[in-house]
Structure 1
Amino acid sequence: MIKMKYLMLQLTAVLVLAGCGNAQNNNRLEAGEDATAAAETSEAPPKETETKTILFFGNSLTAGYGLEPDQAFPALIQQRIDSLDLPYKVINAGVSGETTAGGKARIDWLLKQPVDIFVLELGANDGLRGISTEETYNNLKAIIEKVRSKNPEVEILLAGMQIPPSMGQKYTQQFREVYTRLAEEEQVVLIPFLLEGVAGDRDLNQGDGIHPTEEGHKILAENVWTVLEPVLQEEAAS
């Protein structure tokens, strides 16, 4: 009888120990699963940030006439963007001698690619040729409408331009108002005067007195960046 009780006590002890072992094994399995899940989460590759496009569409000022491509203000904007590690690539679509009419005819081809931010810099050649300010206004408006039609969410910046008073005070005033009028009516972001701080300064312009030097383009880049940076910050926050 005593021997039977002893055997039963041993059996009970074995079962208790087995139960503890199973519980420990289960705990280890659960802990292992949690650790594996955590490792998989931490090792999961980060999602790639989509690179957006900034298209600079203009004339010889955008093209960087007389300079190396990396000295023109759009390239300097790209350098600033890269230094801040922002997900934007700049495309320089400047063509020397371009008028607003030429730009209107050319824009459709460029809109085959998606555009997130569009910087419109045209009109100076219209002014130098004395083209009707109403024609300049209509051409610029048509370009803006085409860009929006193709890219409804696009942000548009308009580079304001002024011309010397040699064309007459009335024409000069009307020309300046083309840009302020468009900015208000079309709800685009206005760069008040692209050549601010450069126009008329011999040290900042090439021999023709029209096209900025390398140092002049640094100032143009700053004029653009002052207006562009808040747009980029707003895009990043949205």
Structure 2
Amino acid sequence: MKRLLPILLLTLLFSCNNQAQTNPKQEAVKNAKPIEVPLKNGLAKAYFASGCFWCVEAVYESVKGVNEAISGYSGGYTQNPTYEKSNTGLTGHAEAVEVIYDPKVVSFSTLVDVYFASQNPTQVNGQGPDRGSQYRSIIFYQNDAQKKIIEEKKAALAKQLNATIAAEVYPFQKFWKAEDYHQNYEKLHPENPYIQNVSIPRLKKFQAKMPEVLKEKH
């Protein structure tokens, strides 16, 4: 029985995580009309989910034209999600980042390139050691032009790799900012073992791929 218990628990967890992505409430999110976020002080906002938001935040903040990246939750149907609730995989949300950028310096198209260059694009429901629907890859679009950019780049990458690209494409609805202790986590906690062993290597791998988009200092 002890041998069977872990298997049963894993099966239940896997089932719950998948249910969070396939229930009617989640389908309504996927089929909703996108909400377009207006420019503010000349700055635009874009939204991406790609595993742990600590990693994704650090990646985007290293890019020229990005003013700030904020960690949070998006893509689900639960109101006021928290880190604890999101980690159950039952809120429908994924850990995401809000990227605040200057469209005169960096385009949405380039931000999508950064997205694919900074992850394993074929990994389903996670990145690296982080597994579960709350870590799944999602690119959010706010209008038809953005959706076209995403779908064309996703299709081109699938052809290049001869593989299925895991990232889902969602209409943007709402971004919920994460708890304060998650913000700028990599910068504030460089000694953290996860940061040293997962976040920093992921950041450096991306920077080696796209040096042309990086800020002079990060």
- Ranked by relative contact order (alpha carbons within 8 Å, sequence separation 6 or more), the top structure is 2
More strand by share: 2
Over alpha carbons, which structure has the higher Rg? 1
